[in-house]
């Protein structure tokens, strides 16, 4: 079975295709969204999702979140003394989703189509692929989130040609993509975005606004207080979308602080973020050679597009009401499931040709002559430019720059800077050339880039026909198959907790967190119900545990 997965910054989802449509698979708690949060305790037990998020309030040094923003980097997270890379933490989320799907479907899940932000570069895409492999999944195909959203919206079933803009503002990343549908071809025309902009930033603005009004500073808060602050800021951010003001409460040193924040105050504080949203929109339209009036439809995906200030801003920007018929949190996962069905060549799925674009320019380092006889090295020569429809193959002829030069080195780079050192290094080829006066020998450098983010580089000496090729599958920290297998074995000692106990652990963690946040009679009341539930757990009677859990849950809902 091939499934579709939306590996998100804030939440992740898994979906499959059945009965002629894509469907979300609920997790072990019966919910569609699994928070992209991982916790590891001192004994090596792994907690994923809502349980891990609850542990953050109690054991902040054992929890990691928003690690998708660091995919493809050398950053490490330390959880209970153990070190993990972002792709390893992502693999734990993927493994949890895989187990949930296998339990729900009653069959083994072996392969997945995983969505990635359109603006993810080669390092981030390969790190995502490694995460899938570490989770025991075969990942032959990745699909960009906007393309997945377009497929989910069913635009490939439209009878007329459509040009549309997909606005994807998730928890931690932001993409703008312009796609065009004609006949049965869904073509990505241009992409732009920001890998460090999302809903988490709007939460941070709310937290800073509260600190400013209350006279507190972030540095004055301990780790647990900071976690509580951002939890309350997240609630306030959501609440202010449905009201013109909100009262945010926060427990600081056994004292409850409250501040009223108006919609105007919050909107003014978010102005800088909204301006950052505008630039990628303008860039994508410019790269596609289009005006806003050329766009037929605007599609919103990503949980942060639920914010009223974001929607109001977009209505003013696009001068039209966006299409919001699907749940913005689920759209990408549903589209990935449709892509999985296409990969399985399911008869129920209308075959549509999906084309994508190269998100970043691919090129090489060259020496340029800026005046007669004066040269400057370290310059970047584009070969496949950003937003070129892929698969694509382009050739550039390069000449020797020194007399009797006997070698040419082609450094493969990705980026937009004029200077090679500012771009991402992917690999290199060195080839022998006959000695000759400067400029008389040349090589043809051909880059071929496909939809699976594989880059073939061919260097051919024009005079001799000698050729060298290489496939760029990764970069400096690329793991081999053997290294992936070894790391999978190393991670095997970590124990993802039994599914049957998840609900009980979650209730206890939530209760403990709320007990710490409560004062006076509320704390006594919570203690009574927590003690009763713990006693039922010790006795081990299934029905008694269920009744005590439900009673505790009711109290928690009332108190929160």
Q: Which of 87, 88, 133, 168 is catalytic?
A: 168
Query: How far is 12 from 118, CA to CA, in rounded Å?
Result: 17
The answer to whether the predicted template modeling score (pTM) of the entire model surpasses 0.85 is no
Is residue 362 very low, low, confident or very high in pLDDT (cuts 50, 70, 90)?
A: very high
Q: Can you give the pLDDT at residue 156?
A: 55
Residue found under tokens 């698969």: 391
Q: 266: which 2 tokens?
A: 């919050």
Lowest mean pLDDT among 15-19, 172-176, 270-274, 341-345: 341-345
The one-character DSSP state at 473 is -
Top pLDDT among 523 and 370 is at: 523
Rounded mean pLDDT, 129-149: 90
May I ask the CATH architecture of the domain 362-472?
Sandwich (2.60)
Rounded mean pLDDT, 358-366: 89
Is residue 474 very low, low, confident or very high in pLDDT (cuts 50, 70, 90)?
A: very low
Residue 317 neighbours by CB distance under 10 Å: 16
Which residues does residue 181 pair with via DSSP β-bridges, in sequence order? Answer: 162, 186
Residue (of 530, 559, 513) closest to 54 by Cα position: 513
Active-site residue, 554 included: no
Query: How far is 464 from 459, CA to CA, in rounded Å?
Result: 12
Top pLDDT among 418 and 348 is at: 418
* Mean pLDDT for all residues in the chain: 88
Rounded mean pLDDT, 335-355: 79
Active-site residue, 524 included: no
Residue (of 180, 112, 99, 186) closest to 142 by Cα position: 112
Q: Which of 100, 133, 145, 503 is catalytic?
A: 145
Is residue 476 very low, low, confident or very high in pLDDT (cuts 50, 70, 90)?
A: very low
Q: Can you give the pLDDT at residue 452?
A: 62
Residue 468 neighbours by CB distance under 10 Å: 15
Q: Please, which residues have CB within 8 angstroms of residue 529's CB and are 6 or more apart in sequence?
A: 511, 551, 552, 555
**pLDDT (tens digit, 9 = 90+) per residue, 177-214?**
898 887 777 788 888 888 889 999 999 999 999 999 99
Q: 109: which 2 tokens?
A: 């899940």
Query: How far is 429 from 5, CA to CA, in rounded Å?
Result: 36
Phi, psi for residue 29 in degrees, rounded to 5: -100, 5
Q: Can you give the pLDDT at residue 342?
A: 85
Active-site residue, 6 included: yes
**pLDDT (tens digit, 9 = 90+) per residue, 78-87?**
999 999 999 9
The one-character DSSP state at 32 is S
Which residues does residue 297 pair with via DSSP β-bridges, in sequence order? Answer: 164
In 64-221, alpha helices (H): 86-105, 122-134, 145-152, 199-214
Q: Please, which residues have CB within 8 angstroms of residue 291's CB and are 6 or more apart in sequence?
A: 285
Record: fold of 199-271: Actin; Chain A, domain 4 (3.90.640)
**pLDDT (tens digit, 9 = 90+) per residue, 38-77?**
999 988 889 999 999 999 988 999 999 999 999 989 899 9
Q: Which of 50, 54, 68, 180 is catalytic?
A: 68
Q: Which of 6, 133, 200, 329 is catalytic?
A: 6
Phi, psi for residue 212 in degrees, rounded to 5: -65, -45
Crossing angle between the packed helical segments 308-318 and 271-288, to the nearest 10 degrees: 40
Query: How far is 309 from 97, CA to CA, in rounded Å?
Result: 32
Give residue 457's Cα distance to chain centre: 28
Q: 410: which 2 tokens?
A: 């082609």
Active-site residue, 102 included: no
Q: How far is CA 510 from CA 49, 51, 560, in A?
A: 13, 8, 10
CATH of domain 1-153+328-348+479-497: 3.30.420.40
Query: How far is 129 from 56, CA to CA, in rounded Å?
Result: 27
Which residues does residue 429 pair with via DSSP β-bridges, in sequence order? Answer: 410
Rounded mean pLDDT, 375-403: 89
Write down the domain spans for the chain: 1-153+328-348+479-497, 199-271, 362-472, 499-559
Q: Can you give the pLDDT at residue 503?
A: 85
First to last CA, the chain: 40
Q: Can you give the pLDDT at residue 320?
A: 87
Which residues does residue 193 pair with via DSSP β-bridges, in sequence order? Answer: 175
Query: Given a cut of 80, is residue 435 above it in pLDDT?
Result: yes
Q: Please, which residues have CB within 8 angstroms of residue 99's CB and are 6 or more apart in sequence?
A: 28, 496, 499
């Amino acid at each position: 079975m091939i499934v579709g997965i939306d590996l998100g910054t804030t939440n992740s989802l898994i979906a499959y295709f059945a009965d002629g449509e894509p469907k979300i698979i609920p997790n072990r708690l019966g919910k569609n969204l699994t928070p992209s949060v991982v916790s590891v305790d001192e004994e090596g037990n792994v907690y994923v999702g809502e349980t891990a998020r609850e542990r953050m309030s109690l054991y902040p040094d054992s929890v990691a979140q928003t690690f998708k923003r660091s995919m493809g980097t050398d950053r490490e997270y330390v959880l209970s003394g153990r070190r993990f890379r972002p792709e390893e933490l992502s693999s734990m989320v993927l493994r949890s989703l895989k187990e949930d799907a296998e339990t729900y479907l009653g069959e083994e899940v072996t392969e997945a189509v995983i969505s990635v932000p359109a603006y993810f570069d080669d390092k981030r895409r390969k790190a995502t692929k490694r995460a899938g492999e570490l989770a025991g999944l075969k990942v032959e195909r990745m699909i960009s989130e906007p393309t997945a959203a377009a497929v989910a919206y069913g635009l490939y079933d439209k009878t007329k040609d459509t040009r549309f803009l997909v606005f994807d503002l998730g928890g931690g990343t932001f993409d703008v993509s312009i796609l065009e549908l004609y006949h049965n071809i869904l073509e990505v025309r241009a992409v732009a975005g920001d890998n460090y902009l999302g809903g988490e930033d709007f939460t941070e603005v709310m937290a800073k606004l509260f600190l400013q009004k209350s006279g507190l500073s972030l540095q004055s808060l301990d780790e647990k207080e900071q976690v509580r602050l951002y939890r309350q800021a997240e609630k306030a951010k959501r609440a202010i979308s449905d009201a013109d003001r909100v009262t945010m409460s926060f427990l600081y040193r056994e004292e409850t602080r409250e501040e009223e924040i108006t919609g105007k105050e919050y909107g003014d504080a978010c102005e800088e973020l909204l301006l950052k949203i505008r630039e990628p929109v303008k860039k994508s339209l410019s790269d596609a050679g289009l005006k806003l009036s050329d766009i037929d439809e605007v599609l919103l995906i990503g949980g942060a597009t639920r914010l009223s200030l974001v929607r109001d801003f977009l209505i003013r920007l696009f001068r039209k009401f966006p299409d919001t018929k699907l749940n913005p949190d689920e759209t990408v996962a549903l589209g990935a499931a449709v892509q999985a069905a296409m990969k399985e060549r399911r008869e129920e799925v209308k075959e549509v040709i999906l084309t994508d674009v190269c998100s970043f320019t691919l090129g090489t380092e060259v020496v340029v002559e800026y005046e007669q006889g004066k040269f400057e090295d370290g310059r970047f020569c584009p070969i496949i430019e950003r937003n070129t429809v892929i698969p694509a193959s382009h050739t550039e002829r390069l000449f020797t720059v020194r007399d009797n030069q006997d070698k040419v080195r082609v450094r493969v780079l990705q980026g937009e800077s004029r200077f090679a050192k500012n771009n991402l290094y992917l690999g290199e080829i060195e080839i022998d050339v006959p000695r000759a006066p400067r400029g008389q020998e040349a090589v043809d450098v051909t880059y071929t880039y496909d939809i699976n983010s594989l880059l073939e580089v061919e260097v051919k000496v024009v005079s001799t026909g000698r050729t060298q090729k290489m496939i760029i599958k990764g970069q400096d920290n690329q793991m081999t198959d053997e290294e992936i297998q070894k790391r999978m074995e190393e991670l095997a000692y970590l124990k993802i907790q039994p599914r049957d106990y998840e609900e009980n652990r979650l209730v206890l963690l939530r209760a403990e967190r709320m007990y710490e946040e409560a004062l006076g009679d509320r704390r006594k009341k919570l203690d009574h119900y927590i003690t009763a539930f713990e006693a039922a757990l010790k006795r081990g009677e299934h029905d008694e545990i269920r009744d005590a859990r439900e009673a505790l849950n009711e109290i928690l809902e009332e108190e929160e």
